[in-house]
């Protein structure tokens, strides 16, 4: 073999080795699946580990990435995207397959394993949902070649198994305290997080509609004076982040936000003499608050309610107040004669003329 052909062959081998290493590097990437709660089960698949030592699945708000491992079936890839960037799989080509997340945990699309073929996460008589409050997977995926894969349940020689993730919507880590949510079908009722209750009005209509929320764990105080808009005298110390997802279909709708003093760890009641505002930060945690337009405000003891359109929500929220002027009580008064200079001069002139 001449040197020219030898160099070409070495180059091809090096490129192949590099591609192999890159693919292994992807498989080695760490995910956000719990180290203990990581097992799914299928009768024809056996155990499938979503957090193996040399791989792992990552849940994002719009898609899943990474690899699961089964002793019986080998690697199963959850999607072709890498790096966590915004991604939606079209599932219409060999290089565009993967599992999508609609923002409130409803999964769809296909995973792939060389030894099992396609695995559908939204089959007609099943489907998989990730609860953004608990992080737990629910339901079943389906493979034509292997049947059902269950993400939570019981199996042979198992008291109970499940797959759980650290994903909780788009909530920042600082606001992942007392996580709560209202979500169409899965969590349609009222939900509370450390002094804030969210109740649906006419928002939860589509499968992808929902609000995931939590707070920053600040101790109760209602006299904070920084980052306030004009005409607002004080605000609560505790701040909530609301991650709003308005799914495809009917847009908009209303919800009610109710702030509760006792549930937030405080005492006392809201004053009917004061004016209260729903306050929102435009973006980051250092931005000043602005006043949110609400359609209705109610004051009832230690509860303050705002009815508001979901189009006004998203970002960080708290409650502010404009304090009514302090009333003055009249305890007594005394009358005194009024001095009139002109009358005094006239009287003086009359005296001189006498």
User: Is there a contact between 163 and 40 (Cβ–Cβ < 8 Å)?
Assistant: yes
The answer to whether residue 309 sits within a structural domain is yes
263: domain CATH number is 2.60.220
Q: How far is CA 4 from CA 7, 14, 18, 68, in A?
A: 5, 15, 21, 42
Residues 180 and 301 in one domain: yes
Residues 177 and 298 in one domain: yes
Residues 265 and 311 in one domain: yes
User: Is there a contact between 212 and 104 (Cβ–Cβ < 8 Å)?
Assistant: yes
Query: pLDDT value at position 287?
Result: 86
Of the pLDDT bands very low, low, confident and very high (cuts 50, 70, 90), residue 160 is: very high
Residues 177 and 225 in one domain: yes
Cα–Cα distance, 309 to 295 (Å, whole number)? 8
The answer to whether residue 329 sits within a structural domain is no
Query: pLDDT value at position 334?
Result: 56
Query: pLDDT value at position 280?
Result: 96
State the pTM of this model. 0.84
Report CA Rg, the chain.
32
The answer on pLDDT for 18 being more than 70 is no
pLDDT tens-digit readout, 110-137: 999 999 999 999 999 899 999 999 999 9
Residues 137 and 210 in one domain: no
pLDDT tens-digit readout, 177-200: 999 999 999 999 999 999 999 999
The domain total for the chain is 2
Of the pLDDT bands very low, low, confident and very high (cuts 50, 70, 90), residue 208 is: very high
The answer to whether residue 10 sits within a structural domain is no
More confident residue, 18 or 318: 318
Query: pLDDT value at position 7?
Result: 41
Cα–Cα distance, 175 to 216 (Å, whole number)? 5
Query: pLDDT value at position 3?
Result: 43
Query: pLDDT value at position 9?
Result: 40
Cα–Cα distance, 123 to 43 (Å, whole number)? 17
Of the pLDDT bands very low, low, confident and very high (cuts 50, 70, 90), residue 159 is: confident
Residues 208 and 100 in one domain: no
Half-sphere exposure of 327 (CA within 13 A, CB side): 5
Eight-state DSSP code of residue 311? G
Query: pLDDT value at position 204?
Result: 98
Domain that holds residue 98: 26-165
From the CB of residue 162, how many other CB atoms can be counted at a distance below 10 Å? 20
Residues 147 and 43 in one domain: yes
User: Is there a contact between 248 and 187 (Cβ–Cβ < 8 Å)?
Assistant: no
With a pLDDT cut of 90, the percent of the chain lying above it is 79
More confident residue, 13 or 175: 175
Cα–Cα distance, 263 to 276 (Å, whole number)? 18
Query: pLDDT value at position 21?
Result: 37
Which tokens belong to 75? 């690697």
Query: pLDDT value at position 6?
Result: 45
Cα–Cα distance, 119 to 117 (Å, whole number)? 7
pLDDT tens-digit readout, 138-150: 999 999 999 999 9
CA dihedral for 67, 70, 76, 78, sign (positive or negative): negative
Query: pLDDT value at position 17?
Result: 33
Q: What does the DSSP assignment read for 95-116?
A: TS-BEEE-SSSBEEEEEEETTT
SS (H, E, C) 164-216: EECCECECCHHHCEEEEEEECCCECCCEEECCEEEEECCCCCCCCCEEEEEEC
Of the pLDDT bands very low, low, confident and very high (cuts 50, 70, 90), residue 321 is: very high
The answer on pLDDT for 25 being more than 50 is no
Residues 143 and 205 in one domain: no
Residues 73 and 141 in one domain: yes
The answer to whether residue 284 sits within a structural domain is yes
3-state secondary structure of 137: strand
The answer on pLDDT for 309 being more than 80 is yes
Single out the residue in 133, 165, 197 at which a domain terminates: 165
**CB-count exposure of residue 229 (10 Å: 0-12, 13-18, 19+):** middle
User: Is there a contact between 176 and 194 (Cβ–Cβ < 8 Å)?
Assistant: no
Residues 253 and 275 in one domain: yes
The answer to whether residue 3 sits within a structural domain is no
Residues 42 and 143 in one domain: yes
pLDDT tens-digit readout, 74-116: 999 999 999 999 999 999 998 999 999 999 999 999 999 999 9
Query: pLDDT value at position 345?
Result: 61
The answer on pLDDT for 4 being more than 50 is no
Of the pLDDT bands very low, low, confident and very high (cuts 50, 70, 90), residue 157 is: confident
Cα–Cα distance, 206 to 277 (Å, whole number)? 30
- The angle formed by the CA atoms of residues 153, 138 and 125, to the nearest 5 degrees, is 95
Of the pLDDT bands very low, low, confident and very high (cuts 50, 70, 90), residue 332 is: low
Cα–Cα distance, 75 to 98 (Å, whole number)? 14
Tell me the average pLDDT of the chain: 89
pLDDT tens-digit readout, 237-296: 999 999 999 999 999 999 999 999 999 999 999 999 999 999 999 776 678 999 999 999
Q: How far is CA 58 from CA 76, 181, 286, in A?
A: 13, 21, 29
């Amino acid at each position: 073999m001449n040197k020219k052909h030898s160099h070409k062959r070495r180059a091809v081998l090096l490129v192949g080795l590099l591609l192999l290493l890159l693919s292994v590097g992807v498989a080695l990437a760490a995910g956000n699946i719990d180290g203990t709660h990581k097992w799914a089960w299928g009768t024809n698949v056996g155990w499938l580990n979503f957090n193996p030592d040399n791989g792992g699945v990552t849940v994002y708000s719009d898609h899943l990435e990474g690899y699961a491992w089964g002793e019986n079936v080998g690697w199963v890839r959850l999607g072709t995207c890498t790096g966590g960037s915004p991604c939606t799989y079209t599932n219409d080509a060999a290089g565009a397959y993967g599992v999508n997340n609609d923002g409130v945990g409803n999964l769809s699309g296909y995973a792939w394993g060389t030894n099992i073929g396609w695995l559908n996460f939204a089959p007609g008589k099943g489907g998989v949902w990730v609860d953004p409050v608990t992080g737990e997977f629910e339901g079943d995926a389906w493979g034509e070649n292997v049947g059902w894969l269950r993400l939570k349940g019981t199996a042979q020689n198992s008291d109970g198994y499940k797959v759980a993730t650290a994903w909780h919507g788009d909530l920042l880590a600082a606001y992942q305290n007392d996580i709560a949510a209202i979500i169409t079908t899965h969590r349609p009722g009222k939900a509370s997080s450390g002094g804030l209750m969210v109740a649906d009005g006419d928002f939860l209509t589509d499968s992808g509609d929902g609000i995931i929320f939590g707070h920053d764990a600040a101790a109760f105080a209602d006299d904070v004076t920084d980052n306030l808009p004009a005409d607002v005298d004080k605000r609560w110390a505790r701040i909530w982040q609301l991650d709003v997802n308005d799914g495809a279909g009917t847009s908009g709708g209303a919800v009610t936000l109710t702030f509760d003093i006792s549930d937030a760890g405080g005492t006392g009641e809201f004053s009917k003499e004061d004016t209260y505002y729903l306050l929102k930060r435009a973006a980051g945690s250092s931005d000043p608050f602005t006043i949110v337009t609400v359609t209705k405000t109610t004051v009832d003891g230690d509860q303050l309610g705002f009815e508001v359109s979901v189009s006004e929500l998203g970002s960080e929220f708290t409650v502010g107040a404009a304090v009514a002027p302090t009333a003055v009580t009249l305890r007594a008064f005394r009358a005194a004669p009024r001095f009139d200079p002109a009358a005094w001069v006239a009287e003086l002139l009359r005296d001189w003329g006498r």
